[in-house]
Structure 1
Amino acid sequence: MLKRFNEYDNFIFDFDGTLADTADEVLSCIEKAFNKCNVSFDKERLNPSVMGPSLAEIAKIVKPDLTDENIVNNIVSEYRKIYDYDEKDITKLYDGIRDCLLYLKQNNKKIFIATNKPKIPTLRLVKSLNIDFFDDVYMVDKYDDKKLTKQQMIEEIVSKYNLPKEKTIMVGDCLSDIEAAKKAGVLSLVALWGYGADKKALKDKADFCLEKITND
């Protein structure tokens, strides 16, 4: 993605499925949370295809007959206890990501994260994956008094750093990333290595598509 996008100055990255492959870690922690709450489920339903929605929605996908919101909330709570501070986290960066980020920084580009992940695991992973050199990191709970949508994150980054929208690209792997970029008035690039299931829809709606990180 490197030289091909030299004319653009600002890059806002989603995290899960874009910068890092978090699926194995997240799914493992979800399974532990279900077990901790003594809730049985079909393990075949717990696979990378469920990645993307909120944890509460994932819990209901994994166990469609789960209608008790108290149980759902308990599963989410247990997941947070397990995932937020997991010292044996098996998350890994996708091939070429760190070199890509370093290239952008070395060429005076501004780089940001806009993720629906909460603050604690996001900042933990940014540090442990050795990519703690972003200009700013926006998470769903960046502020204590309100939750941010992906669109709001992009809009605030653009406003705070006075970024020209025509020179700014949102990089993500899901349709929601692309739609948020369009609503915020910036360009969109879909990372086709990520979790988004409908690749055709992603390709049709994004301004740019990338199969993998390359030097051209």
Structure 2
Amino acid sequence: MRYKLAVFDLDGTLLDTLKDLWASVNVILKAHNHPERSLEEIRQFVGNGSVKLIERAVPAGTSKEEEKIIHDEYKEYYDKHCNDLTKAYDGILDVLKVLKNNGVKLAILSNKPNFTVEKLNDIYFEGLFEIARGSLPEVAVKPAPDSLLRILDELKIAKEDTVYIGDSDVDVNTAKNAGVDEIAVTWGFRDKDFLEANGATSFANKCEELLDLI
């Protein structure tokens, strides 16, 4: 294997979480008498964390006070329903096991709330990842490099021995900002043309292709 550490985004990379995100947003929007959003709209809204997701989902002109209330209610609801419709992408578990068995350290880095990342990690990936990390109040979210660099520091792995794998422009820019290699996956929430237009240079179209790239 080329790398000592592979850090994965969660939504759209390891897990197909879109339907649960969509359903949860719409439950809260409906409760506040706001129009519901389509699945495709939510696909475009995700990637920058739950605060940005709600900011994009609420109607224009919504007050910041109401936006915060909706966000807090969304987080509480989604945490209880984050695994209703979610599933791991076909083949990803086998790929992770091969990487781990070949001595590659594995980590998750997501802009989701940290407690939700830990919960989903326990459900799907128990024992596979050295670190499963979501957003923390004291650390800037992706694409700022802070959270990724913190993982490298904790695991004592150099930048040149690390690759970051994700499905969005946020992930591509996170890797670039941190000075590590990136692999963009095309089975997630953004297509290859979009990723290429946003600077991605290395692509995996199927989970098993990661084994040749890592």
| TM-score, scaled to structure 1 | 0.85
Does structure 1 retain, via aligned residues, the 8 Å contact 2:160–2:181?
Answer: yes
Alpha-carbon deviation of 1:46? 4.5
Which 5+ residue runs of structure 1 have no aligned equivalent?
A: 1-5
- Does 2:106 align with 1:111? yes
Query: Structure 1: which amino acid aligns with 2:195?
Result: L
Q: Distance in 1 between matches of 2:81 and 2:181?
A: 35
| Residue of structure 2 aligned with 1:95, choices 80, 90, 93 | 90
Q: Paired residue for 1:61?
A: 56
| Residue of structure 2 aligned with 1:200, choices 162, 172, 193 | 193
Q: Paired residue for 2:122?
A: 127
Query: Structure 1: which amino acid aligns with 2:5?
Result: N
| Residue of structure 2 aligned with 1:176, choices 163, 170, 180 | 170
Larger displacement relative to structure 2 (58-67 or 22-31): 58-67
| TM-score, scaled to structure 2 | 0.86
Q: Paired residue for 1:167?
A: 161
Q: Distance in 2 between matches of 1:91 and 1:174?
A: 19
Does structure 2 retain, via aligned residues, the 8 Å contact 1:60–1:66?
Answer: no
Does structure 1 retain, via aligned residues, the 8 Å contact 2:184–2:202?
Answer: yes
Q: Paired residue for 1:48?
A: 43
Q: Distance in 1 between matches of 2:171 and 2:79?
A: 23
Query: Structure 2: which amino acid aligns with 1:72?
Result: E
Does structure 2 retain, via aligned residues, the 8 Å contact 1:113–1:134?
Answer: yes
Larger displacement relative to structure 2 (61-70 or 10-19): 61-70
Q: 1:116 to 1:88 in 2, by over 3 A?
A: closer
Query: Structure 1: which amino acid aligns with 2:172?
Result: I
Q: Distance in 2 between matches of 1:41 and 1:86?
A: 21
Alpha-carbon deviation of 1:160? 2.2
Q: 1:71 to 1:201 in 2, by over 3 A?
A: same
- Does 2:118 align with 1:147? no
Q: Paired residue for 1:3?
A: none
Does structure 2 retain, via aligned residues, the 8 Å contact 1:113–1:137?
Answer: yes
Secondary structure of 1:214's counterpart equals helix
